[in-house]
Amino acid sequence: MNFDFGHREKAFQEKIRALFSDTRAEPLMGWGEESMSALRRESLTWLNRLAHTGYLSLALEDEPYGPATVAAQQLLAAVSPALYVCAETSARIFGRLMNAYGSPQLRSQVLPAIRHGEAMGTVALSEPGFHETRADMGTVGSTTSEGFRVSGEKPQVMNAPIADWIAVAGTVDNTDAAAFFLVSRHDQGLFMGQKSPPLGCEDLPMCAVTLEDCRVDPAYVMGPMDGREVFTEVRIWENQVLAAGALGLMQRALDTAVSHAKRHQSGGKPLIAYQEVGFKLAEMLTLLQTAQLLVYRAAWMWETGGPEAQELAYCAKVFSTESAEEVASKALHILGQTGFAHKNPAEGAYRNAKYLQVSGTASALSRMKIADGLLKNR
Amino acid sequence: MDFAFTQEQNIFRDQVIRFAKKEIVPRVPEHDLNGAFDFHSFGRLGEFGILGLHFPEALGGSDADVVTTVMAGEALGEAGVDGGLSLAYGAHTFLCADTILSHGTPAQKERYIPRLASGEWIGCMGLTEPGAGSDVASMSTRAERRGDQYRLNGNKMFITNGPVADVAVVYAKTGRDLGHAGISAFIVEKGTPGFSAGKNIEKMGVRTSHTSELIFEDCEIPEENLIGPEGGGFLMALQTVEWDRSALLAPFVGGMSYVLSKAVRYARERYQFGRPISEFQAVKHKLADIKIFVEAARSLCYRIAWCKDQGRPLNHLEAAVAKLFVGDWGLSPANDAMIIFGGYGYCHEYEVERAFRDSRLAPIGGGTSDIQKKIISKLI
């Protein structure tokens, strides 16, 4: 048992911190004000910087996803939730999918640019009525003499407006067999929807993706395969990203609240001197540290192939993302009007926490899966 | 970062669970309902080696590290051992014996540790007073030096094992105006003139542990019974309460795992509306919430144990975080388990009501949740 990171892992974390040490503005803030091409340029600039630390290669090379990756993820998510989601969608979800299921040729064509931050990817999985335990999907790839023609609609795909590659999940010829169809941003038959104003994550490039008879060469198809297995796996990768992101979100909200509570005076003493405030901060720190250890342990069990790896991943997702909302809510109470102002880290965290809960495997469904595991194994 | 136990630890854990299930758990309901201290089970804990697990072999222990020690506590809870016996074990081993082991003279260790490790003697610790809880500096028990003796006067309150203890570690003021620096620790043996214990205080939960007042009326003890230097008691108390916030939490977390297993079995077997209640989402969500609590709380306990094994004797933040989380966030899963059992959950026979009662101590004993928040907010 060891609750500390090794020298190499700590040195890596320092590299991430150093990357943002002299950055005054938060990277990728305000996509609403920027054109898509400007946002794409800025995203690639930051991804490229991140790539130099090795961040984008985590869980894509020799070492599997584990606690060291979570610690790095928390650091980035605390600095910039938008850059975090952009980088994780590209490297940890799209990259891992390519790494696990792409052909050697496809991997060598696509993955180096993803790891170096020179290209971005995303995975379009969910659609109305979709459930990862069933293979049926509205998006279908029909076999033709030249390959596949893919049609379907995917709502709210992260990174979609700026990604170079989109791995679109669908079924093959209306059978139970599933596949990921890799389409490029310039492919004919691929259409990007309008951005719909979300509750949170407004800095994120997210929109609907529609495919209408989009031609895909067989060399760009991962599958056919058992959809239930691979969709569940991708969902767990998403859940890992969301759970670790929630840690960063909590850290950011807590840091903002602590700083305010120490600086802001009321009745001749700093806010933190009041039990109402100090005790809230104590509860926030308790939730953060507890969630952190749970997410670390879930990642460790995933890395080591423990018997309850899936259940623990769901536990970590629920606890971390729900704690994030609680921590953000307490931060708002401490910050008062300051926290309520648009773009304050606390109000952003409060709204983004909801996204973390409902994305991936939503809290209610995660609880069902945890209980199913208990009923099966105890 | 590595959360794995060694193979030896896993084997030992299984042994503890088997031992407890066979020898202790069948005796729990009767003793709990009667509010009776189970001397037989306590003795068996000593014979099995639990009471002195982390003590040196030369003094009757097993030289185990703190992680293994915490693991044994969790295993007791997981087997179904009640919170009362676990609390009695904790007060005996960590609050009393460990203080003597960590700060006592060779002669004190030789006299007390083997007897405490074996369970031949039962130990307790007297810190809290009727008018002084977490505000330790305000204690009024005095130890006045008279030649080569100390004369103790005062009362201690809510002392776990008080009525059954053979030996007590007692904190008293030796310097009137020195605040924390005026607190010293002493060993007082049962039968010492002027020392007596009150009768068992009937409690809501942890009923198999006996709790009482300790009374000192011109109680004279030899100076050899002073633990460590005069005025060194506060630091000892701090180290002691950290055990409260780590090793003593582990049986509670293990106990929640035990309750979870019972709730899962019950939900599978109980049919309503033509199907097992485990198929209802409301029940599944409760089971999931208990599981999430257990998994979240476990690592907090082991983190402190690991810190101690790294040679860090004081880990205030880690300990307060663990105590606060287990205490406050543990109430809801204990409640959920009882509700899954419905009317049966309210009955003694099904044991979940005992877990519910026992869980109410977690945010109170060893420093209330508010005290933990105070500590954490000061360290932020």
Interatomic CA distance for residues B262 and B337, integer angstroms: 9
Residues of chain A contacting B327 with CB distance shorter than 8 Å: none
CB A90 within 8 A of CB A163: yes
CB B1 within 8 A of CB A67: yes
Q: Is the pLDDT of residue A135 over 70?
A: no
Q: Do B373 and A279 touch (CB under 8 A)?
A: yes
Q: Which of B97, B85, B87, B98 is nearest to B43 (CA)?
A: B85
Sequence-separated (6 or more) residues with CB below 8 Å from residue A164 = A113, A119, A120, A121, A184, A185
Q: What local confidence, expressed as pLDDT, does residue B181 receive?
A: 87
Residues of chain A contacting B264 with CB distance shorter than 8 Å: 374-375, 378
Q: Is the pLDDT of residue B212 over 70?
A: yes
Q: What local confidence, expressed as pLDDT, does residue A32 receive?
A: 57
Q: Is the pLDDT of residue B22 over 80?
A: yes
- Which whole number is the average pLDDT over B299-323? 92
Residues of chain B contacting A258 with CB distance shorter than 8 Å: 380
Select from A279, A287, A294 the Cβ nearest to the Cβ of B377: A279
The Cα of A252 is separated from the nearest Cα of chain B by a number of Å equal to: 14
Q: What are the tens digits of pLDDT across the range A184-214? A: 999 999 999 877 666 666 677 888 999 999 9
Select from A282, A296, A378 the Cβ nearest to the Cβ of B261: A378
- Which whole number is the average pLDDT over A84-103? 95
Name the pLDDT band for A228 (thresholds 50, 70, 90). Answer: confident
Q: Do A3 and B303 touch (CB under 8 A)?
A: yes
- Which whole number is the average pLDDT over B247-257? 94
Q: What local confidence, expressed as pLDDT, does residue A133 receive?
A: 67
CB A207 within 8 A of CB A190: no
Q: Is the pLDDT of residue B373 over 90?
A: yes
Q: Do B321 and A286 touch (CB under 8 A)?
A: yes
Q: What local confidence, expressed as pLDDT, does residue A25 receive?
A: 62
Decide which of A352 and B85 is more confident. B85
Average pLDDT of every residue of chain A: 91
Q: Do A286 and B380 touch (CB under 8 A)?
A: no
Q: Which of A288, A358, A364, A292 is nearest to A327 (CA)?
A: A288
pTM of the model as a whole = 0.95
Backbone φ, ψ for residue A175 (5° rounding): -100, -175
The Cα of A207 is separated from the nearest Cα of chain B by a number of Å equal to: 32
Q: What are the tens digits of pLDDT across the range A145-161? A: 889 999 999 998 999 99
Q: What local confidence, expressed as pLDDT, does residue A146 receive?
A: 87
- Which whole number is the average pLDDT over B64-83? 97
Say how many Å lie between the first and final Cα of chain A, rounded: 25
Q: What percent of chain B has pLDDT over 90?
A: 90
Q: What local confidence, expressed as pLDDT, does residue A136 receive?
A: 73
Q: What local confidence, expressed as pLDDT, does residue A23 receive?
A: 66
Q: Do B377 and A5 touch (CB under 8 A)?
A: no
Which ranges in chain A belong to alpha helices (H)?
A: 7-20, 36-53, 67-79, 81-88, 96-101, 104-115, 227-263, 275-304, 309-335, 337-340, 345-358, 363-377
**Of A23-32, A85-94, B322-331, minimum mean pLDDT range:** A23-32
Please state the ipTM of this predicted complex.
Answer: 0.95
Q: Do B3 and A297 touch (CB under 8 A)?
A: yes
Q: What local confidence, expressed as pLDDT, does residue B134 receive?
A: 80
Q: What local confidence, expressed as pLDDT, does residue A34 receive?
A: 62
Q: What local confidence, expressed as pLDDT, does residue A59 receive?
A: 83
Q: Do B377 and A368 touch (CB under 8 A)?
A: no
Interatomic CA distance for residues A211 and A228, integer angstroms: 22
Select from B370, B372, B380 the Cβ nearest to the Cβ of A281: B380
- Which whole number is the average pLDDT over A331-360? 91
CB A222 within 8 A of CB A150: no
- Which whole number is the average pLDDT over B134-154? 93
Q: Which chain B residue has its CA at the smallest distance from A6's CA?
A: B1
AA letter at B62: S
Average pLDDT of every residue of chain B: 95
Q: Do A67 and B1 touch (CB under 8 A)?
A: yes
Q: Is the pLDDT of residue A164 over 60?
A: yes
Tokens (6 digits) for B18? 């088997």
